[in-house]
């Protein structure tokens, strides 16, 4: 006997033994007779096993008949799978099923103020993009258009995020909608539209007289104008800037909580286009941030060597003499942060002193040496205007700094200049050689001695480099120094300690190996 010819009672018995709803659906679809006989059983089975999941699914598919059958079977119109789950009316609104939503709106007890992570029913309609659906919901006085989701986003924020200008028009036309409503991290709809690059939505918001164009939001308290400057390049931030500034209501000098103005942020961008736009609208080219950086100083130190920004600012009249709170000018910052093209540009410009010192006496060359920025060092050393012997507040020159860093490459670059003083002393009386010995840099000691460093140079305590080498028990270094024919074998420091007092047994053996003419060796041969 064919399945379709079985009596309804037997079909119902078979259906009772079907465990999975998908199998039951397959059974119902085998013939019209099975469908007629088992359809109501199918709905009851769904309610018994999944409660209202069938109602939510039917609403999402736009099946008004199925929705009504579930309601007739007593399913709660507000049923959801989890505390923050999706309801039937939300699912229908997302799918744009206007007849289902209209029907559900008429059901007694429907909850329209419920919102989950994605928001209320109005948020779902906005995400779905159906204009008639949004109109239908806004026309219902029970709808609260400013209800926020559990993630603190309201319908107007979702409209700004999706970038649908028609939806935004409907919301802005509704007097109940707050156009300045704060969402997550206190961003307004305008902040979101700017961040996303939705220019049509931006225009609608900017043209609305109630929208606050200078509202601050986010962890750094940035206005929409500042937000535009941090937006991804693919969102066309330049167009956003023009839209905002053309309103005439934007405060172009308003800063974030780090005192970054719009021009300061533009100075760190990859293109001078933003700088050009802001200057056209009257931005202050000498504005200062929290650390007293002007836009020029910001551009000079920015990652990526933004020499185009620096050049544009210079050509626009930026003050080349400006310094930040540590006393560093544009050249010093470019040297410190290894922006070689910017250094070359500033040196060519000629209106800047390449030897100017910061608050601790660091010149651009000293900063570059401190950071081991070898390319910058070479550029500066090759410039005749750069003083390679300029000292900082501690009396250190760039050569001292090379010794502090144990940097042979830095020393070689500096020694390319004939006037480089290899025997210059700092405030403690230490020469570059003395520092190299203290750092136990054999390679530096070797090159310094080849260039004529004074191996008998005394520091403020009377200590010589060889004394330090002996104290450190650095046999190869002592051997290097002893090989110099100018070594003074009878020095004493301020404590009266002579060279012999510093020597360990291994060094005494080394000294004994020296030629007979060595007066120091004679002391040990007796």
Q: What is the pTM of this model?
A: 0.80
Positive/negative CA dihedral, 455, 460, 462, 465:
negative
pLDDT of residue 29: 64
Rounded CA gap, 150 and 148, in Å?
Answer: 7
Q: Which residues contact 250 (CB under 8 A, 6 or more apart)?
A: 213, 214, 223, 224, 225, 244
Which band of pLDDT confidence, cut at 50, 70 and 90, is reported for residue 521? very low
Which band of pLDDT confidence, cut at 50, 70 and 90, is reported for residue 475? confident
Sequence-ordered alpha helix ranges (H) in 17-114:
21-28, 32-50, 53-61, 64-72, 88-95, 98-105
- In angstroms, what CA-CA distances link 108 with 39, 77, 81, 105, 121? 26, 9, 21, 8, 16
Mean pLDDT of 136-164: 96
pLDDT of residue 173: 97
Rounded CA gap, 291 and 478, in Å?
Answer: 48
Do the Cβ atoms of 355 and 363 come closer than 8 Å? yes
Do the Cβ atoms of 382 and 413 come closer than 8 Å? no
Say yes or no to pLDDT of 106 above 70. Answer: yes
Mean pLDDT of 196-221: 97
Per the model's pLDDT, the better-predicted residue between 347 and 28 turns out to be: 347
pLDDT of residue 516: 45
pLDDT of residue 399: 98
Say yes or no to pLDDT of 12 above 60. Answer: no
pLDDT of residue 482: 81
Say yes or no to pLDDT of 181 above 50. Answer: yes
pLDDT of residue 410: 98
| Tens digits of residue pLDDT in 376-433 | 999 999 999 999 999 999 999 999 999 999 999 999 999 999 999 999 999 999 999 9
Rounded CA gap, 183 and 188, in Å?
Answer: 6
% of residues, the chain, pLDDT over 90: 74
pLDDT of residue 238: 97
Rounded CA gap, 181 and 187, in Å?
Answer: 8
In this structure, which topology does domain 424-526 adopt according to CATH? 1.25.40
466-484 residues labelled b (16+ CB within 10 A) or e (exposed): bbbbbbbebeebbbbbbee
pLDDT of residue 517: 39
pLDDT of residue 505: 52
Weakest-pLDDT range from 26-35, 162-171, 490-499: 490-499
Q: What residues does CATH 1.25.40.20 cover in the chain? A: 153-163+173-251, 424-526
pLDDT of residue 473: 86
The DSSP 8-state label assigned to residue 352 in this structure reads: S
Which band of pLDDT confidence, cut at 50, 70 and 90, is reported for residue 357? very high
Do the Cβ atoms of 191 and 230 come closer than 8 Å? no
Exposed/middle/buried for residue 233 (C-beta within 10 Å: 0-12, 13-18, 19+): exposed
pLDDT of residue 391: 98
Do the Cβ atoms of 475 and 481 come closer than 8 Å? no
Q: Which residues contact 502 (CB under 8 A, 6 or more apart)?
A: 467, 470, 471
Do the Cβ atoms of 467 and 491 come closer than 8 Å? yes
Q: Does domain 153-163+173-251 have CATH number 3.40.50.620?
A: no
Token couple for 348: 């060519």
pLDDT of residue 184: 86
For the chain, give the mean pLDDT: 89
Q: Which residues contact 83 (CB under 8 A, 6 or more apart)?
A: none
pLDDT of residue 515: 46
* Cross-strand partners of 119: 116
End-to-end CA distance of the chain: 128
Rounded CA gap, 112 and 259, in Å?
Answer: 43
pLDDT of residue 416: 95
Look at the block and give the residue holding tokens 């929208």.
211
Token couple for 105: 């709106």
% of residues, the chain, pLDDT over 70: 83
| Tens digits of residue pLDDT in 308-339 | 999 999 999 999 999 999 999 999 999 999 99
User: Reduced to 3 states, what is the DSSP secondary structure of residue 494?
Assistant: coil
| Tens digits of residue pLDDT in 31-85 | 655 556 556 656 665 666 677 888 999 999 999 999 999 898 889 999 998 989 9
- In angstroms, what CA-CA distances link 414 with 7, 139, 378? 103, 78, 8
Do the Cβ atoms of 31 and 6 come closer than 8 Å? no
Rounded CA gap, 145 and 176, in Å?
Answer: 7
Half-sphere exposure (Cβ direction) of 83: Cα atoms closer than 13 Å: 1
Mean pLDDT of 144-149: 96
């Amino acid at each position: 006997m064919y399945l379709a010819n079985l009596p309804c009672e037997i079909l119902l018995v078979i259906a009772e033994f079907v465990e999975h709803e998908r199998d039951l659906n397959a059974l119902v679809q085998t013939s019209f007779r099975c469908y007629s006989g088992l359809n109501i059983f199918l709905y009851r089975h769904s309610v018994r096993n999944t409660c209202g999941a069938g109602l939510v699914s039917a609403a999402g598919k736009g099946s008004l008949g199925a929705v009504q059958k579930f309601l007739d079977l007593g399913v709660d119109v507000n049923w959801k799978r989890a505390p923050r789950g999706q309801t039937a009316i939300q699912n229908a609104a997302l799918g744009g099923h206007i007849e289902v939503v209209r029907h559900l709106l008429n059901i007694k007890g429907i909850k329209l103020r419920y919102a989950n992570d994605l928001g209320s029913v109005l948020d779902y309609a906005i995400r779905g993009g159906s204009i008639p659906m949004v109109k239908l919901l806004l026309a219902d006085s029970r709808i609260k258009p400013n209800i926020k989701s559990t993630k603190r986003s309201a319908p107007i924020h979702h409209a700004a995020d999706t970038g649908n200008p028609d939806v935004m028009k409907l919301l802005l036309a509704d007097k109940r909608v707050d156009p300045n409503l704060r969402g997550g991290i206190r961003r307004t709809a305008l902040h979101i539209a700017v961040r996303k690059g939705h220019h049509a939505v931006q225009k609608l918001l900017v043209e609305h007289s109630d929208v606050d164009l200078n509202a601050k939001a986010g962890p750094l308290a940035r206005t929409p104008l500042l937000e535009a400057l941090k937006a991804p390049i693919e969102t066309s931030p330049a167009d956003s800037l023009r839209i905002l500034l053309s309103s005439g209501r934007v405060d172009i000098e308003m800063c974030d909580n780090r005192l970054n103005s719009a021009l300061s942020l533009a100075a760190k961008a990859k293109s001078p286009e933003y700088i050009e736009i802001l200057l056209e609208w009257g931005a202050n080219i000498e504005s200062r941030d929290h650390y007293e950086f002007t836009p020029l100083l910001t551009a000079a130190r920015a990652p990526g060597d933004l020499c185009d920004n620096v050049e544009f600012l210079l050509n626009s009249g930026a003050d080349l003499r400006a310094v930040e709170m540590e006393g560093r000018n544009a050249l010093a910052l470019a040297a410190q942060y290894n922006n070689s093209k910017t250094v070359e540009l500033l040196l060519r410009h000629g209106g800047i002193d390449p030897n100017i010192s910061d608050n601790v006496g660091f010149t651009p060359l000293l900063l570059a040496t401190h950071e081991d920025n070898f390319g910058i060092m070479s550029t500066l050393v090759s410039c005749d205007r750069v003083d390679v012997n300029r000292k900082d507040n501690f009396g250190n020159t760039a050569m001292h700094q090379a010794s502090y860093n144990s940097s042979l490459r830095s020393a070689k670059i500096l020694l390319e200049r004939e006037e480089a003083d290899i025997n210059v002393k700092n405030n403690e009386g230490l020469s570059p050689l003395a520092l190299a010995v203290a750092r136990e840099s054999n390679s530096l000691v070797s090159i310094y001695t080849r260039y004529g460093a004074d191996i008998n140079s005394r520091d403020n305590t009377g200590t010589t480099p060889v004394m330090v080498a002996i104290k450190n028990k650095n046999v190869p270094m002592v051997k290097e120094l002893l090989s110099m024919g100018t070594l003074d074998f009878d020095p004493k420091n301020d404590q009266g300690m002579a060279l012999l007092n510093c020597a360990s047994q291994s060094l005494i053996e080394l000294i004994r190996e020296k030629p007979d003419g060595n007066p120091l060796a004679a002391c040990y041969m007796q």
